[in-house]
Amino acid sequence: MIRLLKYLIIGQILLAGCEQKTTSTISYFDLNMDNVKVTGKMIQEKSMGLHWVQTDQARADTIFIAVHGYGSEGYEWVYALRKMAESGHKTYYYRWDWSQCPEPASRMLISVIDSLVSAEVGLNHINIFGHSYGGVIVTGLADDHLNVSLDIHSIAAPLAGHTRLEKNCPDYPRFNDLKLTSKLVQWRTVHKQDGAFKNLAANPQLIEIKGSEVVQLPAVFPDGRRLGHNWSITWVMDQYFSGGR
């Protein structure tokens, strides 16, 4: 009860902060691919909450939401945000406090999404992509019920557990018995090619979630570049928007 009360208090404080900032924008034209490190720094300096990637025209019947991972520098999302926005659908980047444990972070995200659903007239579907620890957070939404349909994509996410995260969060979620109410796609990197996981004895991405779809990423890009942890997002975007999965 004490833990639950603590999460509720934290959630209310964070929700109040996020609700004030859900109209903040990132101009599509500021998503500069010529210097992704500088662009990434710009988007990671945004306040906590949802940030709309602003374009001249964007339909709101379907929405894209991008959720970064622990310690993100933002650059890994620049290409992805451009691809999402270029689809012609409204796109949001979600900044969140990665010092949180998964459960309160997921509750915070679902509260923000609920507010978005209420605000966006005509919205009927959301595609949400979470990378690394962000993939854990978005997977925590997979058994929730919303007033819209939801496709959840976890990319290079330690869904089977992670020693450091579990040490700080004893209630780290166990997804084995997750009862899906939404579509869940697990995009998994090659264990030993992933800089975040290669030194771990066991691959933290390996978990069986009944009803989910698993897509195994290759070890390299078509041009031979190593396909590691952060650049996995780029590969996923190319596959997703080309229909190549």
Q: Nearest to residue 139, comparing CAs of 190, 208, 82, 186?
A: 186
pLDDT of residue 128: 98
pLDDT tens, per residue, the chain with 245 residues: 334 334 433 444 444 444 434 558 999 999 999 999 999 999 999 999 999 999 988 999 999 999 999 999 999 999 999 999 999 999 999 999 999 999 999 999 999 999 999 999 999 999 999 999 999 999 999 999 999 999 999 999 999 988 878 888 988 888 999 999 999 999 999 999 999 999 999 999 999 999 999 999 999 999 999 999 999 999 999 999 997 55
Cα torsion 12, 17, 20, 26: sign: negative
If DSSP codes are grouped into helix, strand and coil, which group holds residue 55? coil
Look up residue 106 and give its two tokens.
């997921």
pLDDT of residue 3: 41
Q: How many CB atoms lie within 10 A of CB 37?
A: 11
Q: DSSP labels for 105-129?
A: HHHHHHHHHHHHHHHSTT--EEEEE
Q: Nearest to residue 139, comparing CAs of 166, 168, 167, 177?
A: 177
> For residues 228 and 225, what is the distance between their CA atoms, to the nearest angstrom?
9
> For residues 239 and 101, what is the distance between their CA atoms, to the nearest angstrom?
31
If DSSP codes are grouped into helix, strand and coil, which group holds residue 235? helix
> For residues 17 and 47, what is the distance between their CA atoms, to the nearest angstrom?
9
Q: What are phi and psi of 189, to 5 degrees?
A: -80, 165
Q: Could you tell me which residues come within 8 angstroms of residue 49 by beta carbon, excluding any fewer than 6 positions away?
A: 17, 18, 19, 20, 21, 22, 24, 94, 95, 112
pLDDT of residue 245: 54
Cα torsion 230, 102, 144, 54: sign: negative
Look at domain 2-242 and name its CATH class.
alpha beta
